[in-house]
Each structure stands twice: as C-alpha cells, then as structure tokens.
Amino acid sequence: MANSWWIIALFISATTSAAAASYAATAEDYLYVNNACASTLYPSLCFSSLSSHADRIRRNPRNLVGVAISVTLSSVTDAAIYMLSMRHTSGGNAEKLALSDCTKMLADAASQMRASMKELKALKRETLRWQLSNVQTWMSAALTNEGTCTDGFDGLDEAVGGAVSGKIGCVTEMTSNALALANYFASQAKTQL
C-alpha cells in the first residue's frame, strides 16, 4: 500500500508540473502586458519584448518585472559580447579603450540586473518596500552604466561610436522599460503581493 501512495504522489507531481509547463497565455494575459507597457517610455518595444512571455507573466506584477529584467539582461549580455568582438576588430587605441570601458559598464549593469532578479525572487511582505527600493536603485544604476558606456565614444571614430550607440540605445530603452515597470510595481506594492 505504501508503494501505491508513492506512485500516486509521483503521478500528481508529474501532472501538476506538466500542467504548469503547458500553460497557454490567454487574451487577458496579452492585454495585461499591453496595458503595463503603456506606462513605459517605449511601449512598442516593451510589448514586443514581453508579449512572447505572457505565459510566464500570468498577469502577475512580480512576474512582469522579473521577466522584463530577464529579457533586458539577455540584451545586455548580447551587447557586451558585441562590444568584445568590436574591441578586437575596430578602431584605434582610443576606440579600443572606450570599448573596453563600455564592456565593463555593461558587466556592472548585468550584475545589477541579476541582483534585482534575486531580490524579486525573495520578496517578503514585511520587507517588500525596502526590497523593491533595492530593485529600483539597481535598475536605475544599470541605466546610468549604460549611458556612461556611450558617453565614452564622444569625439572618437564615428563608425565605432555609431555602432555602439545603436546597440546600446535598444538596451537602454529596454532597461528604462524594466525600471518603469519596477516603479509601477513598487507604487502598487501594498495590494500586489
């Protein structure tokens, strides 16, 4: 009989996991993402980058912010890899130094985003406002680091600076959107956890 309970528990666990993994986003999930993105500076980019994750967001503000930061972190990582490849093929010494500095700034931004994601996963009702304040601070610092990255190309080779600005511009807009969503979540924190 004990063996039967173990098999039943395993079956329930497997079907629960399968049900969770097979959640299909509903029209309401997409509408939630669209409405949340309307409060950002770059709503089209916000919706296009987050709508494919509506099934993970599930109309939950914590999930929304977490997914927004995760998607942004992926873009920051891609941009850092791009900067590293450019450093080996583009410009003179000044450009290479600016690319190296930019890569470091992006690494700092990525670290701040990872800290933000970790903080979101550990939210507790009694420390919620403080934890969300940490997320806001770290995301704001990430945005500053990204801006500092592009500042390093002022007066340098326009081709390199233009390529960097184009790549970092999209990352900065995504970070701005994630910060706006974190700010909204923090302002609604009393009713959202």
Q: Concatenate the DSSP letters of all residues of 105-163 into one string.
A: HHHHHHHHHHHHHHHHHT--GGGHHHHHHHHHHHHHHHHHHHHHHHHTTTTS-HHHHHH
- pTM for the full model? 0.84
H or E element: which one contains 16?
Answer: helix 2-21
Question: Within its chain, how far is the Cα of 25 from the centroid?
Answer: 20
Angle of CA points 103, 154, 174, to nearest 5°: 50
The identity of residue 153, as a single letter, is F
Between 5-9, 86-90, 177-181, the lowest mean confidence (pLDDT) is in: 5-9
Q: Average pLDDT, stretch 175-192?
A: 86
pLDDT digit string, tens, across residues 116-157: 999 999 999 899 999 999 999 999 999 999 999 999 888 888
Measuring CA to CA, which residue among 27, 25, 26, 37 is closest to residue 61?
37
pLDDT digit string, tens, across residues 152-163: 888 888 888 899
In the prediction, which pLDDT does 183 show? Answer: 95
Residue 14 has pLDDT above 60, yes or no: no
Domains of the chain in start order, with CATH, are: 25-192 (1.20.140.40)
Q: Average pLDDT, stretch 64-78?
A: 97
